[in-house]
Amino acid sequence: MSSTKVIFPKVNITGERSIRFAFSNQVGKEIFNQVQSFCHMLEKESFLIEEVVPSYHTVTVYLKKDLEKIEPFIQSVLAKWEQQSKGEPDWNSRKLQIPVCYHEEFALDMERVMEHTGLRNSEIITLHSQTVYTTYMIGFLPGFPYLGELNPKLATPRLPNPRAKVPKGTVGIGGSQTGIYPIECPGGWNIIGKTPLEIYRPDREEPFFIRTGDTLRFVAISQAEFSAIQTQLVKHPESICEFIKEN
């Protein structure tokens, strides 16, 4: 982060054991990088901190116990941030590839996206799959990745009436974001495809396969490829890494 201007967060004590550090009110890669570095720094304070919860531009810290004087703790954190900011980032992101079938069977709202954007089906698929996305946050549902950098041409308002059930693995567009539904649930994002991968499995050694900070891109696959991958993963769940193609 030495080549980037250091941002000192605004501090808000939100409870007896919670503090929010706000870096901005805007979403952006530079802010996100600082949020991630700040979180990694805080992980070293595990003897005092119960949980660190990042969002797009804030970090909320939950303490293990009430502090008699919380201000000295805040000043200590900011002093460490000033020192760490003079060095290089100490966190690394993974680069992932997610196979997605955009066939009409899985793209229930493709027509709606086409009508709103004025783009052809093939143009939507190309724009959606050629972008490298950053996982800004995991939330809403267990393992649901909020992905940034959606091409502005693809931005489409959410459905006026959400569906009662959206299948797990569904890939959708909601406003200026795109994401993957990790489980079956209600949802109002525009469905444009589906991945055969289970990005969340509670019985897996690594339940959440996509992590905050990961970058990823979607790779268009055919129906036949979708079925083949799905079949293989039923027999060999651990082979998911073959399709993610982690670098």
Residue-wise pLDDT for 144-189, tens only, equals: 888 888 999 999 999 999 999 999 999 999 999 899 999 999 999 9
pLDDT at 2: 45
Per the prediction, the chain carries an average pLDDT of 86
> Which helix (H) or strand (E) covers residue 229, if one does?
helix 223-235
Asked if 218 and 130 count as a contact pair (C-beta separation under 8 A), the reply is: no
pLDDT at 88: 52
Tally the C-alpha atoms within 13 A of residue 147's C-alpha that lie toward its C-beta.
27
Q: What is the mean pLDDT of residues 116-140?
A: 92
Share of the chain above pLDDT 70, in %: 92
Whole-model pTM?
0.75
Better pLDDT: 226 or 89: 226
Q: What is the mean pLDDT of residues 129-133?
A: 93
Q: How confident is the model at residue 25 (pLDDT cuts 50, 70, 90)?
A: confident
Residue count of the chain, please give it.
247
Domains of the chain: 10-84 (3.30.1360.40), 95-244 (2.40.100.10)
Cβ neighbours of 185 (radius 10 Å): 18
pLDDT at 1: 47
Residue-wise pLDDT for 74-101, tens only, equals: 998 998 888 876 555 555 678 899 999 9
Tokens read off for 45: 């304070």
Residue ranges with strand state E in the chain: 10-15, 18-22, 49-54, 58-63, 95-101, 133-138, 145-148, 163-166, 170-174, 177-180, 185-187, 190-194, 215-221
Residue-wise pLDDT for 36-76, tens only, equals: 888 888 877 667 888 888 887 889 999 887 777 788 889 98
